[in-house]
């Protein structure tokens, strides 16, 4: 059972206004109004459907279509039954023409705005009986259903089918039953429109009277709000340094990228980094990064802490400034070397200044060590390990 929906704001659609389909299928003022009436009291009705290709992803919040009445006898429409279906593509010989498939969305609307327009004589066509009447009436109507809540969300490049049936109040005994029809369009696209009985939906393709050789399409426009393009932050890079002299400066490069929807814009910033050392980032933040921009390089400069024989770790965190849940982290590590031994610290300068024999150097060192270091035996152990 479809849900009944109303709308809060009503508006017209005019040629030149925006749309979210292959192109607007405008009404043919010299065409046909094809019966699409449902009379609940008699459990009888006809539904019509036509296909469109989505040109822009997002919600279908507005549906505009055109129609009129047989013999110009206007009745009371109590609601419009509107549904959106999957596409079953043409695949001869088993499927000679495309048609609606699974119902994806269905609503019963009781509120809309109607705009009347007089025009040249238009024909009436009832597909169930085969009756067609040229020059049947001179007035038709534009129906605008807008700001649809819980709207259907379409995807760009996908073909869907729109089906419509007008639930018309049953006529009083002895009076003519008004019949409503969906107006044909001179703007043909893809395959023919189709019709089916209510409760059966065994779709049959439509051709225009009187020769039934020309494809018949129906007049409608799909519009709606533009879907917001959502950014998605990603990052990459390595920040690993080893054997770094305390107090010295090192550099590295990391990258931030927007891998979100096409056209989305990412505002990002370095929102957290280790507390050890002195850190600088160039740049520290950025605005309007799009997927087309690719990866943005960030130069990282760190002054190592003045501590030897230490392993420092942490993370650099890059955040989406508009969405705290969208962030990325990069692991960081920096190691300083072990302290140099006392023996090496003293001996290496001596060895590098003069080309002396090992015996002479050892004798001189022993003398100096005895002079300046009372704990000679410790120095002697260091020399053995050198």
Is the residue at 358 inside a domain?
Answer: yes
Do both 140 and 215 map to the same domain? Answer: yes
Model pLDDT, residue 345:
43
* CB 111 within 8 Å of CB 7: yes
CA 238 to centroid of chain Cα atoms:
31
Instruction: Kindly tell me the burial class for residue 21, based on how many C-beta atoms sit within 10 Å of its own C-beta (0-12, 13-18, 19 or more).
Output: buried
CA dist., res. 168 & res. 176, Å (int): 13
Do both 89 and 166 map to the same domain? Answer: yes
| Residue that is last in its domain, among 223, 244, 270 | 223
Q: How far, in Å, are 76, 186, 230, 231, 260 from residue 322 at the CA level?
A: 50, 47, 11, 10, 14
Do both 127 and 255 map to the same domain? Answer: no
> Can you give the three-state secondary structure of 120-142, one letter per residue?
EEEEEECCCCCCEEEEEEEEEEE
CATH number at residue 257: 2.60.40.10
Nearest alpha carbon to residue 264 among 229, 239, 297: 229
CA dist., res. 115 & res. 296, Å (int): 53
CA dist., res. 152 & res. 105, Å (int): 6
The reply to whether the predicted model has a pTM over 0.85 is: no
CA dist., res. 220 & res. 144, Å (int): 10
Task: List residues bridging with 206 in a β-sheet.
Answer: none
* CB 261 within 8 Å of CB 231: yes
Residue that is written with structure tokens 């508009």 in the block: 322
Model pLDDT, residue 378:
63
Do both 313 and 346 map to the same domain? Answer: no
- Peptide bond just before 93 cis, omega within 30 deg: yes
Per-residue pLDDT of the chain (386 residues; tens, 9 = 90+): 344 444 433 447 888 888 999 999 999 999 999 999 999 998 899 999 999 999 998 899 999 999 999 999 999 999 999 999 999 999 999 999 999 999 999 999 999 999 999 988 899 999 999 999 999 999 999 999 999 988 999 999 999 999 999 999 999 999 999 999 999 999 999 989 999 998 888 999 999 999 999 999 999 999 987 667 789 999 999 999 999 999 999 999 999 999 998 889 999 999 999 999 999 999 999 999 999 999 999 999 999 999 999 999 999 999 999 999 999 999 999 999 976 544 444 454 454 554 545 555 555 555 655 555 555 566 566 656 55
For residue 184, give both structure tokens: 């044909």
Do both 251 and 143 map to the same domain? Answer: no
Q: Domain range spanning residue 367?
A: 342-385
Do both 245 and 112 map to the same domain? Answer: no
CA dist., res. 255 & res. 318, Å (int): 10
Nearest alpha carbon to residue 263 among 56, 38, 14: 56
What is the tally of structural domains in the chain? Answer: 3
Do both 201 and 249 map to the same domain? Answer: no
Is the residue at 128 inside a domain?
Answer: yes
Do both 149 and 243 map to the same domain? Answer: no
Model pLDDT, residue 22:
94
């Amino acid at each position: 059972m479809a849900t009944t929906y109303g709308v809060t704001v009503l508006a017209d659609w005019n040629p030149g206004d925006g749309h979210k389909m292959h192109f607007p299928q405008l009404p043919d003022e010299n065409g046909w109004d094809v019966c699409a009436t449902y009379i609940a009291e008699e459990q009888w009705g006809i539904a019509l459907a036509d296909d469109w290709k989505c040109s822009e992803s997002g919600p279908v919040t507005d549906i505009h279509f055109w129609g009129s009445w047989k013999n110009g006898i206007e009745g009371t429409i109590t609601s419009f039954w509107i549904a959106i279906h999957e596409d079953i593509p043409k695949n001869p010989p088993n499927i000679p023409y495309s048609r609606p498939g699974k119902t994806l969305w269905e609503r019963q609307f009781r509120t809309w705005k109607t705009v009347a327009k007089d025009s040249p004589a238009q024909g009436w066509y009832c597909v169930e009986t085969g009756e067609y009447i040229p020059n049947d009436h001179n007035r038709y109507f534009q129906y605008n259903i807008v700001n649809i809540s819980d709207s259907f969300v379409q995807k760009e490049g996908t073909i869907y089918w729109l089906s419509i049936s007008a639930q018309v109040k049953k006529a009083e005994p002895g009076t003519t039953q008004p019949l409503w029809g969906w107006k044909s369009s001179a703007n043909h696209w893809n395959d023919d429109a189709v019709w089916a009985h209510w409760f059966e939906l065994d779709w049959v393709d439509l051709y225009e009277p009187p020769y039934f050789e020309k494809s018949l399409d129906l007049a409608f426009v799909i519009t709606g709000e533009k879907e917001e393009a959502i950014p998605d932050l990603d990052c990459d890079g390595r920040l690993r340094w080893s054997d770094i002299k305390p107090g010295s400066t090192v550099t590295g490069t990391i990258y931030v990228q927007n891998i979100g929807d096409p056209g989305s814009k990412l505002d990002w910033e370095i929102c957290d980094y280790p507390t050890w050392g002195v850190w600088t980032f160039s740049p520290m933040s950025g605005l309007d990064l799009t997927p087309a921009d690719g990866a943005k390089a960030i130069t990282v400069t760190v002054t190592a802490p003045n501590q030897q024989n230490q392993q420092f770790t942490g993370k650099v965190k890059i955040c989406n400034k508009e969405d705290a849940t969208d962030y990325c982290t990069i692991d960081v590590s920096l190691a300083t070397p072990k302290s140099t031994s006392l023996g090496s610290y003293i001996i290496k300068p001596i060895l590098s200044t003069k080309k002396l024999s090992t015996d002479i150097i050892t004798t001189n060192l022993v003398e100096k060590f005895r002079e300046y270091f009372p704990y000679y035996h410790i120095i002697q152990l260091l020399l053995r390990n050198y």
